[in-house]
Chain A
Amino acid sequence: MIILGISAFYHDSAAAIIDGERIIAAAQEERFTRIKHDASFPVKAVEYCLKEAGISIDEVDDIVFFEKPFIKFERLLETYVSFVPRGFSSFKAALPIWVKEKLFQKKIIREMVAQFSDKASDDIDWDSKLKFSEHHLSHAASAFYPSPFDEAIVLTLDGVGEWVTTSVAIGRGNKLDIVKEIHFPHSLGLLYSAFTYYTGFRVNSGEYKVMGLAPYGEPKYTQVILDNLIDVKDDGSYRLDQSYFNYCTGLTMTNKKFEALFGRPARKPDEEALEQFHMDIAASVQEVTEIIVLKLTESLAKETGIRNLCMAGGVALNCVANGKIQRAGHFENIWIQPAAGDAGGALGAAQAVAHLVHDVPRTVQASDNMQGSYLGCEFSTDEIKQRLTEVGAVFEEHSQQEMLKQAAKALAEQNVVGWFQGRMEFGPRALGGRSILGDPRSEAMQKTLNLKIKYRESFRPFAPSVLREHVGEWFDLNGDSPYMLLVDNVKKDKCLAMSDEQEALFGIEKLNIPRSEIPAVTHVDYSARIQTVHEQTNPLYFGLITEFNQLTQCPVVVNTSFNVRGEPIVCTPEDAFNCFMGTEMDVLAIGNVILRKTDQDPALAKDYKHAFKLD
């Protein structure tokens, strides 16, 4: 039973292909088109999935779209009707998109898919072949079916799907029943997005910046938010006071009443710098989010007695909140879908149809069924050499062991190393397949990576990749976090106390004070967004960190995604070489091939700083 799942038309379009319960491949369209958060139909991702499966589209049993466009249209119309006569500007902006394109999504999907077929579109039995899942069912399926649990509570939280913004499902065996929902316009994701907008970041992509900014602030406005914007019940259910928001009727997230509540207008990112006020706001909305998810998870654990929790949806990428859920201990085990955003909906849609429609039995695996989320394309060393030769790169080929030794040595010598190995990750995180690596012990590494490699805001911290066997020696976390979705503190004995003078520093100045033995990955509140590296899922990355540990007695490296700000993570060896030549990266390890910046033709250097629109 081969099923192709597709998510598209909003943001982060993607395709995934499964054979029964086995995931063959999954990838986001942005990686191929090089357009960040590409929302177009995932033509190239579908093409890749079919190639990886070694089949044609005609051999695919079902094609599943991750949500139901007509129910979304229903929500849109009912929202406008309920607010009339307000909302005409929003109505006027949204309607043409629907009339011209979104009402015809079924037709567009048919046409797009038919281009891969040998048959004419009219000869395909679309009624049986093309199916539509529901947005939150797709998320829930992506969280439960690959998880290592036979029974679990499945919590999905995001901005909005069709109507649902928060759902609770119970998964048992191959069954998944949604038991509770919170509907639009009440949405924890949209509350977070409202503050993302208010603090001057882009909605739908800047939410993680708010999370990164939060540790610099004091949660001074938590009570203001709880008293005015959101009514949170003891079980974690909530309602937003719509008089403070503008997303139902306007083209902004917040309105003048919202601004009056906090005493300032929304920050204009091009004109106004970030101030302590914005950091306090970020800290406050982060705290409110944590309060809600902790109440939700606590009440669900008490109500059901189920000890396993699965999560997906954009809010599940809030790894600070995830870390708190884990530490609260209401659940024995937590598993979060690494592609928790809409891209993961492609996978979930396919899995929902496999298990719920076709009753495909499910085998629970000891770790999980995501294969480390390494579900994208890979290149052989011969192919890498050929592609690099074509772009004029100068490289040396080594044995795999020698490549590992040289890359580890370069890291220990404080070089920034591009790491392009094996299959590309599915989801927003680089997990050691398409990563830029550094030495976490270096006091200068964070600044170097931010300003010379990533070209991004310097307040944002980097994540550590640590050998699973050593995680407990360096961090308070003592379990698995293979997908970099849990935040926990650096062990006290590895931390350095800040003086009162240092504590009083502001923003980036505070970040530059070494706070632990691994300052490059220690945030100002001594937390870290941890990835545990497992030999079973990524033996090469595990081997590299093991070599680095032998050289330095430090089983941790800095891991950031292989891209610059605004660029999708690299997909091909050419993308990697372009990024290498466009930044101040020192070494690139790609397959068994090593490239050094000093060996390259300076004429091939690129202006990468301005090559991508900022996100």
Chain B
Amino acid sequence: MDLIKELWRFMKARKKFWLMPIIIFSVVIGGLVVFAQGSALAPFIYTLF
């Protein structure tokens, strides 16, 4: 819940409400990948991520 509030405050501050559907999509897809893989390993170029 805190995360949702923080994300909302962030989008408001940055005036980037258009990111909302992308964030929702990404969190769902990301969650599914984590659920399927059971782990999350840092990719090669970790600075960028």
Binding site for B on A (CB under 8 A): 10-11, 39, 70-71, 74, 76-78, 81, 90, 92-104, 106-107, 159-160, 193, 203-204, 247, 251-253
Residues of A near B48 (CB, < 8 A) are 76, 159-160, 247
Q: How far is the CB of B1 from chain A (nearest CB, A)?
A: 11
Q: Are A70 and B10 in contact (CB under 8 A)?
A: yes
Q: Are A94 and B43 in contact (CB under 8 A)?
A: yes
Q: How far is the CA of A107 from the CA of B6 in the complex (A)?
A: 11
Q: How far is the CA of A174 from the CA of B43 in the complex (A)?
A: 39
Partner of A99, one of B27, B41, B44: B27
A96 with B33: in contact, given A70-B10, A106-B6 (CB under 8 Å)? yes
Partner of A81, one of B22, B43, B47, B49: B22
Residues of A near B6 (CB, < 8 A) are 70, 106
Q: Are A97 and B3 in contact (CB under 8 A)?
A: no
Q: Are A71 and B23 in contact (CB under 8 A)?
A: no
Residues of B near A253 (CB, < 8 A) are 45
Nearest 7 A-B pairs (CB), nearest first? A99-B30, A95-B30, A96-B40, A93-B43, A94-B49, A100-B40, A96-B34
Q: How far is the CA of A39 from the CA of B42 in the complex (A)?
A: 11
What are 19 contact pairs spanning A and B, CB under 8 A? A10-B47, A70-B10, A74-B10, A93-B43, A93-B49, A94-B49, A97-B40, A99-B30, A99-B40, A100-B30, A100-B34, A100-B40, A103-B3, A107-B2, A159-B47, A160-B47, A193-B47, A203-B44, A203-B45
> Could you list 9 further interchain pairs (A-B, Cβ under 8 angstroms) beyond the known A77-B19, A90-B43, A97-B49?
A10-B46, A77-B26, A95-B26, A96-B30, A96-B37, A107-B3, A203-B47, A251-B43, A251-B44
Q: How far is the CB of A248 from chain B (nearest CB, A)?
A: 8
Q: How far is the CA of A359 from the CA of B16 in the complex (A)?
A: 31
B7-46 at interface with A (beta carbon < 8 Å): 7, 10, 14, 16, 19, 22-23, 26-27, 29-31, 33-34, 37, 40-46
Q: How far is the CB of B32 from chain A (nearest CB, A)?
A: 9
Q: Are A76 and B49 in contact (CB under 8 A)?
A: yes
Residues of A near B44 (CB, < 8 A) are 203, 251-252
Closest to A159 in B: B47
Q: Are B45 and A92 in contact (CB under 8 A)?
A: no
Q: How far is the CA of A70 from the CA of B26 in the complex (A)?
A: 14
Q: Are A77 and B46 in contact (CB under 8 A)?
A: no
Q: How far is the CA of A159 from the CA of B48 in the complex (A)?
A: 8
A95 with B33: in contact, given A10-B46, A77-B22, A107-B2 (CB under 8 Å)? yes
Q: How far is the CA of A24 from the CA of B41 in the complex (A)?
A: 35
Residues of A near B42 (CB, < 8 A) are 97
Binding site for A on B (CB under 8 A): 2-3, 6-7, 10, 14, 16, 19, 22-23, 26-27, 29-31, 33-34, 37, 40-49
Q: Are B31 and A104 in contact (CB under 8 A)?
A: no
Q: How far is the CA of A252 from the CA of B43 in the complex (A)?
A: 10
Q: How far is the CA of A253 from the CA of B3 in the complex (A)?
A: 32
A71 with B14: in contact, given A10-B47, A76-B49 (CB under 8 Å)? yes
Q: How far is the CA of A96 from the CA of B41 in the complex (A)?
A: 8
Closest to B40 in A: A96
Q: How far is the CA of A95 from the CA of B41 in the complex (A)?
A: 10
Q: Are A204 and B46 in contact (CB under 8 A)?
A: yes
Residues of B near A97 (CB, < 8 A) are 40-43, 49
Q: How far is the CA of A585 from the CA of B3 in the complex (A)?
A: 52
Q: Are B43 and A99 in contact (CB under 8 A)?
A: no
Q: How far is the CB of A97 from chain B (nearest CB, A)?
A: 5
Q: Are B45 and A251 in contact (CB under 8 A)?
A: yes
Q: How far is the CA of A256 from the CA of B12 in the complex (A)?
A: 41
Q: Are A101 and B43 in contact (CB under 8 A)?
A: no
Q: How far is the CA of A11 from the CA of B46 in the complex (A)?
A: 8
Q: Are B23 and A77 in contact (CB under 8 A)?
A: yes
Q: How far is the CB of B46 from chain A (nearest CB, A)?
A: 6
Q: How far is the CA of A95 from the CA of B34 in the complex (A)?
A: 9
Q: How far is the CA of A2 from the CA of B33 in the complex (A)?
A: 42
- Residue of A93, A99, A204 with most chain B CB atoms under a 10 A cut-off: A99
Q: How far is the CA of A587 from the CA of B6 in the complex (A)?
A: 56
Q: Are A74 and B47 in contact (CB under 8 A)?
A: no
Residues of B near A159 (CB, < 8 A) are 47-48
Q: How far is the CB of A240 from chain B (nearest CB, A)?
A: 14
Closest to A93 in B: B43
Closest to B23 in A: A77
Closest to B31 in A: A99
A74 with B27: in contact, given A160-B47, A251-B43 (CB under 8 Å)? no
Q: How far is the CA of A566 from the CA of B45 in the complex (A)?
A: 19
Closest to B37 in A: A96
- Residue of B34, B37, B48 with most chain A CB atoms under a 10 A cut-off: B48
Q: Are B19 and A74 in contact (CB under 8 A)?
A: yes
- Residue of B2, B3, B46 with most chain A CB atoms under a 10 A cut-off: B46
Residues of B near A77 (CB, < 8 A) are 19, 22-23, 26
Closest to B7 in A: A70
Q: How far is the CA of A104 from the CA of B31 in the complex (A)?
A: 13
Q: How far is the CB of A266 from chain B (nearest CB, A)?
A: 12
Q: How far is the CA of A107 from the CA of B31 in the complex (A)?
A: 18
Q: How far is the CB of B4 from chain A (nearest CB, A)?
A: 11
Residues of B near A11 (CB, < 8 A) are 46-47
Q: How far is the CA of A93 from the CA of B30 in the complex (A)?
A: 9
